[in-house]
Structure 1
């Protein structure tokens, strides 16, 4: 990461509750090009010493369009509900929304991976067939974000042991599970996350 810029804070009323929002812009060098990537942090007014935190990677198809092929949109909504409830209980938390679509391969490649899944590939096989790792995400920016807010210990909403390990480089982590109902379209996807990526489902 070559440079990090932080926006002002603004109010963000949502269907889940009232939050504050702030953007973090990192400047990365990729193929001789300085590429700005803008992440979002949505958080409650009062952050406790040990907040409830969801680190959520962007999934346009699931988060915005309600795709049933994954559990991302459901996890995002449930995380927002849980964080809002924490705030009502006098505590609070934050959601770090990372712009790392498709586990870090980007939207274009994710759609190509979807096409391979339509032919029978699972989510890991599809990424690898396109020349990517099963998970291309980089969580270093999250370490910078948590440092910015002075956070040293978190309750992390996740089922992903790799994410727990990654966050453990920056803060002390207590895992809280986040389970959403499956459907006929994402049963294979969830089974692959459990068997090949080690998700705690």
Structure 2
């Protein structure tokens, strides 16, 4: 059966890993402490701080201790939902101020636009928060790409290396799993998606093969007519 929906990862797939690690993470590490201090009483921030306390088993942690925990999580790239949510809030300020512009590979921009024009429904699944995803594409170096996408998924749908996460996303998209193509640079994510019934293509931008999956170095050579 031909595919009619495409689900794509961001980091290492549509966008450079270096943008996340060399631009976004340092920006969050620099600006998150003061952001938390300034906004700790706001409901949406307070909710995430409570989640940090719960996940770290430090129910009585004060704001400065929570900040310390968050900076530790940033350093170890922990896929913690409250961290991702708070990072998204900090990055939103940076994007609004013009201090950040989302990186998206030109070949990804061209392919995503073409696929949208051809009638494919496009979705994003990243460990970054939905807000962070929307900012990367909505405030990208190539302009506002947000209109290309029909939906976004993050770790609230489940970890990216677990089969059930892709079943949950498939149900939300509302088409059979075999009609969805998943793109990622991580073989464990591709394996999980494949086990959930999705079709897969691996992105290896520096060359090489992601074992068990068709592998390409660029969006430009993905041939959707094969599926």
TM-score by length of 2: 0.32
Higher-strand-fraction structure: 1
Please tell me whether Structure 1 or Structure 2 has the larger radius of gyration of its CA atoms. 2
Structure with more relative contact order (C-alpha pairs < 8 Å, separation 6 or more): 2
Query: Which has the larger helix fraction?
Result: 2
